[in-house]
Amino acid sequence: MISVDGISADDFAGAGLSRLLRLPQHDLLTLAGDWLGELAPWRNTETLAAISTTLSAEAQLAALFIFGEPVAEAEARDRLPGPLLDLLLRTGALAADSGKLSARYCLVRGDGMSLLAAWRAAGRDVGGYAPWVGTDSMTLSRLVAARRDVRTALDLGCGTGILGLSAARNGADVVSVDVNPECTAAATVNAHINGLGERLTAVEGDIMSLDLDRRFDLVISNPPCLPLRRGSLGWLAGEAGLDGLEFFWELLRRVPGLLTGEGEALLQAAAYGDERGPFFVEELEAELRRLKVSGRLLLRPSTPPRWPAFAPRDEEGQLTGPLGDEVREYVNRIGATHYYGFVLSVRAGEGLDVGRFS
Claim to verify: residue 155 and residue 91 sit in the same structural domain: no
Note whether 99 and 235 are same-domain residues.
Answer: no
pLDDT value for 330: 86
pLDDT recorded at residue 43 = 58
C-alpha dist (Å) from residue 114 to 68, 210, 356: 16, 28, 29
345 and 284 within one domain: yes
Report, as an integer, the average pLDDT of 157-163.
94
The residue-averaged pLDDT of 177-186 equals 94
pLDDT at 230: 76
| pLDDT of 321 above 80 | no
Please indicate, yes or no, whether residues 228 and 323 belong to a single structural domain of this protein.
yes
Q: Is residue 116 one of the residues assigned to a domain?
A: no
Q: What CATH code is carried by the domain that includes residue 284?
A: 3.40.50.150
The domain tally of the chain equals 2
- pLDDT, one tens digit per residue, over 73-119 is 999 999 999 999 999 999 999 999 999 999 999 999 888 899 999 99
**77: in domain:** yes
- Classify residue 113: in a domain, yes or no: no
Q: Let me know if residue 4 belongs to a domain.
A: no
Q: Examine the pLDDT at 241 and tell me if it is beyond 60.
A: yes
* Model pLDDT, residue 36: 43
Mean pLDDT of 51-71: 80
Instruction: Write out the H or E segment, with its range, that includes residue 178.
Output: strand 173-178
Distance, in Å, from the CA atom of 17 to the CA atom of 183, rounded to the nearest integer, reads 19
Q: Indicate whether 170 and 219 sit together in one domain.
A: yes
Q: At residue 42, does pLDDT exceed 80?
A: no
Q: Would residue 114 count as lying in a domain? A: no
DSSP alpha helices (H): ranges in the chain?
A: 9-14, 18-21, 34-37, 45-52, 56-65, 73-79, 82-91, 135-145, 162-169, 181-193, 246-254, 281-291, 321-334
| 216-234: average pLDDT | 81
CA nearest 152: which of 116, 103, 201? 201
Do 166 and 313 reside in the same domain of the chain? yes
305 and 185 housed in the same domain: yes
Specify whether 99 is located in the same domain as 183. Answer: no
Range of the domain at 286: 135-356
- Are 71 and 183 found together in one domain? no
pLDDT at 229 over 80: no
Compute the average pLDDT of residues 14-40: 72
Least confident window among 111-120, 241-250, 262-271: 241-250
- Examine the domain organization and report whether 79 and 192 are in the same domain: no
